[in-house]
Structure 1
Amino acid sequence: MTGSDHFLWWRGSRGDRPHDDRWTEIGEEAFQEKERRITGRHHLPGPVPDWAEDLFRVARAAFIADKYVRRTGVRDRWTRRISLAVPVTEHERWQSAAVRTHLTALLQILTGDLWNVDFRPLTGHYVEEAMVSPDDPRASEVALFSGGLDSLSWAATRSRADDPRPLLLVMFREIGLLRLQRRVYKAVERLDGARPVLLLPMSQTPAGDGSGLRLETSSRTRGLLYAAGAIRAATAHGVGTVHIPENGQLALNPPLTPARSAACSTRSVHPRTLSSLNALVTAVGDAGSAVRVGNPLAQLTKGEVCKAGRDAGLTRSDLESTLSCGKPPARRSGGPPIANCGVCFPCLVRRSGLIHANGTDGTRYEALPWADALPLDRGTDWRALQRWLLGRYTLTDLLTDTPLPPDTDPAVAFDLIRRGREELARLLQIAEATEAADAA
């Protein structure tokens, strides 16, 4: 390891301190929320196995390390060397070679960094036990719920399932966007399906590191943090699968330019990521209580997901009220109270999907990607998308980015990208028509 390495020590009990001054201590104070709101079991109907608590702690530590170690401080302004030390209850399991291999592979796929994670025994740690009651509802299905198009469509579809047991939606609240998330959840409630729908709101907002500097703007481990939180909830409900709904088009997220390959684009629901996460859970979990994570929308484009939402009873207005943006204006300091910027790549995919399903998109965006007055730096994704659509995309392009797991059929994935490109090509036609109208 070199002088550019970063060492972060997740604090355990009071006597648990690093042995030298290379380490920066991090812990529960790294989050804005009170610890009980994050880890308290008062909102869970049953016990959580130690391995799931450990996984959640490891994910929280990785997330804070990801935010505290800034990419601007390294030579290539991207690749960091991060050493992380985390206390775990199931110490022997986490010490195994298989666990280390799966975890470091998972973190490298997500962030593109070089990780070294060490584990030490967790002692003297108290976790509030669940207040178990025979009347507490136990869900039969767990899904992440962001307030986006994909999670809304899946929640709406599953709320109509013929199952008397509840559907549990684990929602990670977005500061500044909570009102929108609640409005989107109300759209599921209005469907009035026979199946009960439970909402478990969680918050995981990083606090500053004391330097006064802005935290790292990329957040590649956030998806892992959310998944680990949902896995934890699933174990308490006795559910064996966690659904992370993401259209297959953005789950694969083919890079628009060579500069966006691999972890330079988000890979939080990429098939390779989910495969690595499942391998990690299998390695650390109990044989009878391990949970698998899956993407139920992996074979659908954005437009096909929107159509599925309409088939489940959602209105055009319901779909247009969702959040899809990678950089929501409402999250910016001083930004307008608008959920979707309209110019980032997720917004472009969103627009093409809604047009495919509804014939038009009435979402209120901050800006049009093809507007003449758009600042040059804000049109980067639109210009990259234009070049990508006008060029050839081959099976080799798909396979040479982030490798697919062995159980994924490359031909099926390639056909998915082809259908997604056809939806996105509609945007080129709209842009041309707009330019012609302006010229006339």
Structure 2
Amino acid sequence: MRRFHFIGRLGDGDNTSVPVIQRDAEICDIQFVDTFGSLNFGIGDALAMLHSLGLKPSESAVDFVIFAAMVTAADTTVSRARNAQNGWTRELDVTIPVADVALWTAQSGLLARTLRFLTGDHWRLLFRARPAGFEKLVATPEELDLTTFDTVSLFSGGLDSLIGAIDMLSAGSNPLLVSHYWDSETSKAQKALLHSIGEKFPTKEIRSMRVRLGFDKNHAQTGEKEDSQRGRSLLFFGLATLAASALNRQIELSVPENGLIGLNVPLDPLRLGALSTRTTHPFYMARINDLLGNLSIPVTLVNPYRHKTKGEMVAECRDLSFLRTVVEYSMSCSSPAKARHKRLSPRHCGTCVPCLIRRASLNAGLGSPDPTLYTLPDLSDHVLNTRRAEGEHVRSFQLMISKLKSDPKAASTLARIPGPLNDAPGEIDAYVDVFRRGIDEVGALLEPVKARPE
């Protein structure tokens, strides 16, 4: 087991010794400024795009993005298998350069609790002043702000974010769409959908702030990699907050996600770890809103579909006919590149949890055959082996479906397992009900499907 302390650096001259909590920790510097003086890892590109539009985000919002990037660096380059005492929980120390040290230090307890909930790790967060010459990271635009954006929405390239964009544009809204990607398949989905949306709504100023931000072995000295990526949504929220803060008024930042995935109730006891992410859980989003309020950033995260199943989102889409023409270009799969193992081009595997929920939603709400290309096109053409990827998640769903059929009242307890729902007491029944309806939706898809261990 190795311990790491990640330290954010701003410029070649930023080489001041930084106190570490754990003496035996290996120092891992993350340099956020390139040789040309711009911010690294796509953050500079995001600022440049906003600058070109005449938009100026707040310094606190830039600090939030750098904080999120530092968390991402630690989360994705420290192996759980090698460095977790119990096989899962890591101890991660991070030092972040910020504009207002006292303000951020006051948030350290909130941030540690939030990250503990999100990633399952123990985090110790320290803050230090930005070095000389980097007191201000946001330039004042020379152009006037002539944009007409009235909101900001996450646009991942998945089915839910696609429906969110279509609904907003069809209702007359003019959102700034914020996209984050790391792999090529996600990028291709985003580009294809944005192109189609631009053609569908030619009178709208379709704008997307697309940022490639991630860390590989060349960016961090750990020499390790971690694929669970429980903290990935923090980066997404940070980039979207950066954009929203530039609109200079109170903004509701839309996080389009169906209620079943938002809750992400573990389908069986083994899924409390890596397979039960909390990227849009209500408790987590409430804590991020607490943080934004404490930082005086006028942005509030809102999930308008938190009480809808994915199938209901599809069926109630404001332009279902358009959705039918573009749905195949959206990407829901957790591992599309694995199709190469079967000598196929990257595509939806068809059997991971996101794929099964997607298939169920299109089966329930599209009103026409599902045009998605799947590695396993037909779930019922043979008995699926639950000891392999093709049947593992199908069997987990079947167990949950059976459990709720035998004891419908169990939904109330199960819906609370991933985390508290007390931030909105009046919505608890709605969360329980969307969990129940979401499982029923997948149950309808899996009715003819047989799975067992072989």
Find the counterpart in structure 2 of residue 363 from structure 1: 372
TM-aligned CA deviation for residue 6 of structure 1: 2.9
Q: Output the CA distance in 2 between the equivalents of 1:135 and 1:331.
A: 45
Give a deviation string over 1:201-241, Cα, whole Å, max 9, x none: 11113121566955101111111101110000111123512
| Aligned partners of 2:42 and 2:213 also within 8 Å | no
Which of the numbers 222, 225, 241 marks the counterpart of 1:215? 225
Matched, 1:418 2:426: no
Q: Hey, what does 1:95 align to over in structure 2?
A: 105
Partner secondary structure for residue 432 of structure 2: helix
Q: How does 1:70-81 map to 2 (within 5 A)?
A: 70-73=79-82, 74-81=84-91
For residue 388 of structure 1, the aligned residue among 400, 406, 411 is: 400
Shift of 1:251: 0.4
| Contact 1:162 1:195 survives alignment (8 Å) | no
Q: Which residue of 1 aligns with 2:17?
A: 17
2:332 to 324, 329, 338: 324
Q: Indicate the larger mover: 387-396 or 244-253.
A: 387-396
3-state SS of 2:213 partner? coil
Change (3 A) 1:190 1:38: closer
Which of 273, 277, 296 pairs up with 2:304? 296
Query: Which of 5, 19, 22 is matched with 1:7 structurally?
Result: 5
Q: How many aligned residue pairs are there?
A: 425
Further displaced range: 38-47 or 410-419: 38-47
Q: CA deviation at 1:316?
A: 1.8
Q: How do 1:399-410 residues align onto structure 2 when only pairs under 5 Å count?
A: 399-408=416-425, 409-410=427-428
Q: More deviation in 208-217 or 410-419?
A: 208-217
Distance, in Å, in 2 between the alignment partners of 1:35 and 1:399 is: 36
Tell me the alpha carbon deviations over residues 354-391 of structure 1, each in whole angstroms, 9 at most, x when there is no partner.
Answer: 00012532311112555447683312111111111111
Match of residue 407 from structure 2: none
1:196 CA displacement? 2.9
**Partner residue of 2:150?**
140
Letter in 1 for 2:158: G
Give the conservation status (yes or no) of the 8 Å contact 2:350–2:375: yes
C-alpha separation in 2, matches of 1:366 and 1:340: 6
8 Å Cα contact 1:329-1:335 kept in structure 2: no
| Separation in 1, partners of 2:69, 2:358 | 29
C-alpha displacement at 1:402, in angstroms? Answer: 1.2
CA distance in 2, matches of 1:43, 1:175: 26
- Segment of structure 1 superposing worse, 359-368 or 372-381: 372-381
The code of the aligned residue for 1:385 comes to F
Q: Which moved more, 1:265-274 or 1:28-37?
A: 28-37
SS in 1 for 2:301: strand
1:438 aligns to what? none
C-alpha distance in structure 2 between counterparts of 1:312 and 1:156, whole Å: 9
Partners of 1:47 and 1:403 in 2: how far apart? 36
Question: Could you say what secondary structure the match of 2:125 adopts?
Answer: strand
1:50 aligns with 2:59: yes
- Assess if the C-alpha contact under 8 Å between 2:110 and 2:291 holds in 1: yes
Matched, 1:273 2:273: no
Deviations 1:319-376 (A, max 9, x none): 2321111122279799743331111100000000000012532311112555447683
Q: Contact between 2:258 and 2:308, CA under 8 Å: does it hold in 1?
A: yes
2:360 to 352, 357, 370: 352
Query: Given residue 245 of structure 1, which amino acid in structure 2 is its aligned partner?
Result: P
Equivalent AA in structure 2 for residue 189 of structure 1? G
Match of 1:171 among 171, 176, 179: 179
SS of residue paired to 1:299: coil
Conserved 8 A contact 2:6-2:95: yes
Does structure 2 retain, via aligned residues, the 8 Å contact 1:138–1:238? no
SS at 1:399 equivalent: coil
Name structure 1 gaps, 5 residues minimum. 436-440
Deviation at 1:168, TM superposition (A): 0.6
The equivalent position to 1:306 in structure 2, one of 301, 304, 314, is 314
- The 3-state SS of whatever aligns with 1:314 is helix
1:226 aligns with 2:244: no
Cα separation, partners in 2 of 1:391 and 1:85, compared to 1, 3 Å: same
For the aligned residue pairs, the C-alpha RMSD in angstroms reads 2.8
Which segments of structure 1 move beyond 4 Å, counting only runs of 4 or more?
A: 29-35, 209-214, 330-335, 368-375
Distance 1:135 1:275, change over 3 A: closer
Q: How many angstroms apart in 1 are the aligned matches of 2:64 and 2:401?
A: 40
1:111 corresponds in structure 2 to 119
Counterpart Cα distance in 1 of 2:155 and 2:226: 25
Alignment CA distance shift 1:369-1:7 (3 Å): farther
Q: Does residue 1:237 correspond to 2:237, yes or no? A: no
Q: 1:422 to 1:204 in 2, by over 3 A?
A: same
Q: Which amino acid aligns with 1:68?
A: T
- Contact 2:230 2:279 survives alignment (8 Å): yes
CA contact (8 A) 2:8 2:96 kept: yes
* 2:77–2:215 Cα contact (<8 Å) kept: no
Looking at structure 2, the residues matched to 39 and 133 of structure 1 have their Cα atoms a distance apart, in angstroms, of 14
Change (3 A) 1:35 1:190: closer
Q: Aligned letter for 2:153?
A: A
Within the alignment, does 1:337 sit opposite 2:345 as a pair? yes
The question of whether the paired residues in 2 share the 8 Å contact of 1:142 and 1:230 is answered with yes
Aligned-residue identity in percent? 26
- Work out whether 1:258 is the aligned partner of 2:269: yes
Matched, 1:376 2:387: yes
Answer yes or no: is the 8 Å Cα contact 1:249–1:302 preserved in 2. yes
Normalised by the size of structure 1, how large is the TM-score? 0.88
- Shift of residue 194, structure 1, vs aligned partner: 4.7
Q: 1:9 to 1:331 in 2, by over 3 A?
A: farther
Question: Does structure 1 residue 67 correspond to structure 2 residue 76?
Answer: yes
Matches of 2:388 and 2:294, distance apart in 1: 44
